[in-house]
Amino acid sequence: MNPPQAVVLAVGFTRVALASRWADHAWRLVAMAPAGVELGGTDLVRDNLELRLYSDEAENYLLNLTAHEPMLFVVWRLEDDAPSVLMVTVSYGEAARMLDAGENVEGVPLPADLKGWVEDFARHHYQPPEKKTKNKRYATSRQEHRA
């Protein structure tokens, strides 16, 4: 039986009051659960988000899994004063690329059941980088004689 390459999730955001002259509130990611599970303590839920795994990201999945606390990363934008989720990922590389592109990237701890699924997938698809061979110059076999 092949494990699924994607799971459907829901994430929850809460609205946090700010003491700022530029904004009176901000949105923060606070929860994650499988789709259909109630997310308590949130002001806004975005559901039916697909977490899909890709074989070429296996090394980045393993990098996340070896961190002190593996994370699920949520990439989102503010649209009409509410968070709109662009993607969810467990890849450090994808999260870093999106952060470098100026997107909002927040994380929540990765649940143990998803951790096992991601680890199985990553270990199955991980291919260590090929070792580069260096062209070494060797001394000629001819010996020079000194007078």
Joined together, the tokens standing for residue 96 give 């870093």
DSSP letters spanning 78-132:
EETTEEEEEEEE--HHHHHHHHHTT-EEEEEEPPHHHHHHHHHHHHHH--PPPPP
What tens digit of pLDDT does each residue of 24-70 get? 999 999 999 888 888 888 889 998 999 999 999 999 999 999 999 99
**Percent of the chain with pLDDT strictly greater than 70:** 87
- The alpha carbons of the chain give a radius of gyration, in whole angstroms, of 23
CA geometry: angle 1, 67, 115, nearest 5 deg: 20
Residue 147: pLDDT over 60: no
Residue 35 CA to residue 10 CA, distance in Å, equals: 5
**Percent of the chain with pLDDT strictly greater than 90:** 66
Residue 104: pLDDT over 90: yes
Whether pTM exceeds 0.85: no
